Structure 1
Amino acid sequence: MTKPWYLYLIECTDGSIYTGITVDVAARYLSHCQGRGARYTRAHPPRQLLGYECHPDRSSASRAEYRIKQLSPPAKRKYALNLTQTFESEVAASSESGEPCQP
């Protein structure tokens, strides 16, 4: 049985939206916050996690990621309204400082 994969959207401090996939959203978001994530989020630090959604496998998550990356920023924000957003407590719990990313 394969692990589920997650598509996630992060709002960056400059207002841009980063889209990615992972098997562990909390760990990946924390790595973005600590400057160990994608090159894009090192240059555009995260402000907040907009949300995430579960996919049955990497292939499905990758296809969803591609579709979302084709959207305009306003369309991405609208899409994020339908994503799971009750996540900050998990990220804070896994953070050494106990705090989620700050702008």
Structure 2
Amino acid sequence: MIIMSNQPCVYILASGRHATLYIGVTGHLFERIHQHRTGVFDGFTRRYGVQRLVWFEHQADFPTAIALEKKLKRWRREWKVALIEKDNPFWEDRAMVLGLPPLDQA
């Protein structure tokens, strides 16, 4: 999969299967996931160990991506789980398709 820089993308991270979720939007998915994993910024994902990329979807432009992010954040948890499990039933880390190493399974 070729990921272009500055390509709008909505993503969902999880701390584990059926665990804490985080929804975000970025134009640089590889870099953003790397930031979440290394804890560069203080905040929700660092505090709760939310690092596993379980779902992402590229969008045509940033207004569309931001609108989808806001929509997903308003969804009920079971709808988010269903969205993830539609293509990722075991909540596997999808960051490896971006070229990132797998998370430690400790």
Q: Normalised by the size of structure 2, how large is the TM-score? A: 0.73
Q: What is the deviation of 1:88?
A: 1.7
Aligned equivalent of 1:73: 77
In the superposition, relative to structure 1, how do residues 38 and 72 fare at CA in structure 2: closer, same or farther (>3 Å)? farther
Aligned residues: 95
CA distance in structure 2 between the partners assigned to 1:67 and 1:31 by the alignment: 24
Structure 1 residue corresponding to 2:23, chosen from 13, 19, 26:
19
Backbone CA RMSD of aligned residues: 2.6
Task: Name the structure with the higher strand share.
Answer: 1
Flag structure 2 segments of 5+ consecutive residues without an equivalent: 1-5
Aligned equivalent of 1:88: 96
Q: Normalised by the size of structure 1, how large is the TM-score? A: 0.75
CA distance in structure 2 between the partners assigned to 1:44 and 1:52 by the alignment: 20
Structure 1 residue corresponding to 2:49, chosen from 38, 45, 48:
45
CA distance in structure 1 between the partners assigned to 2:7 and 2:60 by the alignment: 5
Flag structure 1 segments of 5+ consecutive residues without an equivalent: 93-98
